[in-house]
Chains A and B, each alone.
Chain A
């Protein structure tokens, strides 16, 4: 029983990271119909901003983390939207997909070339050690990840649901033409979602890098799994994508423990196929209408 609880809690901790990244996928898709296939690399990069701050500039960790966030907002939010998405999106989704795959490769190779190909140790958020939860042993790092990511998700949900700005962003996502008719500055709302995505991936980066170390290819699996999580949960629902993230984290952990760690990605792909076949809009997604 304690083993199951341990797998569940550790799975939720990993799932919280996936949830942050999957929520970013859903946000971008909802507001701009853009799919960012560089999302995994977007998670990989901010850790190197932080490392550059601490190691090259000698900044304290939290100052470097703030600097990393600012750089991410600028490069992965503003610049990404203006330089890649805005010019390409009117040409259709496919050019965006190809361009974001290219961006992912560029980011990965740039980090390998200009920083290091080796995995870099990253400062932990908590001191080492474990705690006992009803017989399940959980690392303090996992607890911190779960708490910080959970709070971030809660804060984001409150922002989107309880503030005027958040509701205007939701309105832009749900019906951009009507949002424009009501005078909502839709272009600015879309920019805010790109900035929010940049903040989410930065947080995910800072949470995950102490465990997996900062490495140029960290984004490959992470991006794929978060993409699966967003589809499983519901690509057109931020809440669905978040739930998908947690679900995928738990399934991944149980699959690795009870089936085989060699086939963990395969198990997630099976889950993806099952969801696409049985409920294509995702477990918590909304069926979309199209008029022809």
Chain B
């Protein structure tokens, strides 16, 4: 496996009295796409929220490039090059596309912010065409594109992305996966959660199967795709 960028050791997290993530251990390689799959309730989104400091870990440790980041909040993680795109709609509907994009760098005073925004609009011409429109008028795919562009404004080293294909057409999903593949080629490490397991693993380097809050399998994506136990897992059986 390539050099590890993110290492998660025995991470536990949950809501109220319910512990959802129960000692997950996994690694995310630098410059690679790692996809986490698993049935509903396995703890995938909880994992993301705990990594990004939105949910305090109940146990375990998280390391980024060897430095412990357990319990750090979003601002500190953004400073360290980690960005997070949650599932669902994550825009500010009454702000324009350009202003939504600018807010990707809201945590910091960036002297060349305007130049970065322009560069991002050049990179995503569809957004450039709609730069002055309210974000609420964008289609689902365009909204996800804007979220991605916003996340990339800070030139992240690690992108955490939760269910990017949720509610999108197969064509738009393929476009989004294409962009993620391009990011990987530029050296960005990606930790992705995806229900659309086959497509996601097809473009990933590594896969992690999460089941009942624990990592059931961590392997090259191709090996997971070929594993007959995976289909059974999604049909309700365990992986063991």
Contact = CB atoms under 8 A, between A and B. Distances in A.
A148 interface: no
Nearest to A168: B106
Interface residues of B, number: 21
Main secondary structure of the interface of A (DSSP, over half): helix
Nearest to A180: B74
A174 B90 contact: no
A183 B75 contact: yes
Contacts, number: 58
Interface in A158-205: 164, 167-168, 170-171, 174-175, 177-185
B124 interface: no
A111 B48 CA distance: 52
A181 B74 contact: yes
Nearest to A162: B99
Contacts of A179: 92, 103, 106
Interface in A203-225: none
Contacts of B107: 182-184
Interface string B41-77: 0000000000010100000000000000000001100
B160 to A, nearest CB: 10
B25 to A, nearest CB: 25
A164 B150 CA distance: 15
Chain B CB within 10 A, most for which of A168, A171, A286: A171
Contacts of A171: 92, 95, 103, 106
B213 interface: no
Chain A CB within 10 A, most for which of B78, B92, B99: B92
Contact of A167 (B78, B86, B99): B99
B106 A184 contact: yes
A272 to B, nearest CB: 24
Interface in B71-94: 74-75, 78, 84, 86, 90-94
A185 B75 contact: yes
B102 interface: yes
Contact of B92 (A164, A170, A183): A170
14 contacts: A167-B99, A167-B102, A168-B106, A170-B94, A171-B92, A174-B94, A175-B91, A178-B86, A181-B52, A181-B90, A182-B106, A183-B74, A183-B107, A286-B94
Interface of B: 52, 54, 74-75, 78, 84, 86, 90-95, 99, 102-104, 106-108, 150
Given A170-B95, A182-B107, 5 more contacts: A174-B92, A178-B90, A178-B92, A179-B92, A181-B54
Closest 7 CB pairs of A and B: A183-B107, A183-B75, A174-B92, A183-B78, A178-B90, A184-B106, A171-B92
